[in-house]
Amino acid sequence: MAAIASAFGSNPVGAAAGDLTGTYPNPVVAKAAGAFTATGLVTRNGGTTTAGSAPVITGIGAASGAATQLSDLTRDYMVYLEVTTAGTATSLTMGPTSAASAVTIVSSAVASAGVLWAFRLPAGWWFKWTGTTTAVGNQNAVGC
């Protein structure tokens, strides 16, 4: 507890403002009891890089009009959908339920072949694309 007290002041449990840096022999959270709130930049990755894991899901297979949920529900993903066949009345929505209607990304637009839709899908959310004669080919997601 002494190492934490010297790093965070006399009361290590509570709020901390600004950026916190330092090296501790043991995980800080394991030594603190109760709630701890940090405002400012918090870096949680170790090692020589600041990048955490970025899993990739390929071939999602979302069909027109069908709500789709990714196989990994634990993290946000950037989803990339490529329009391969032009169409009309094309829409793209997402939401926290299988209705996938909380957020409209594309609203009844003409979709041109070669257009790439890219959007961040929150963990556990659903998305749905619908189009008349539209086809979406490459469907991939990269973890955030």
Q: What are the structural domain ranges in the chain?
A: 2-38, 56-143
Can you point out the beta strands (E) in 25-66?
Answer: 37-38, 56-58
Task: Report the percentage of the chain scoring pLDDT > 70.
Answer: 64
Average pLDDT over residues 99-106: 95
Distance CA 13, CA 38 (A): 11
Query: Over the stretch 15-49, which tens digit does the pLDDT of each residue have?
Result: 445 444 455 444 444 444 456 566 666 555 554 55
1-15, 101-115, 120-134: least confident range: 1-15
Distance CA 132, CA 134 (A): 5
Q: What is the mean pLDDT of the chain?
A: 79
10-19, 58-67, 96-105, 128-137: least confident range: 10-19
Helix (H) or strand (E) holding 30: helix 28-31
pLDDT of res. 30: 40
Q: Pairing between strand 87-95 and 103-111?
A: antiparallel
Strand order in the sheet with 56-58: 56-58, 135-143, 77-85, 116-121
56-143: which CATH topology?
Answer: Jelly Rolls (2.60.120)
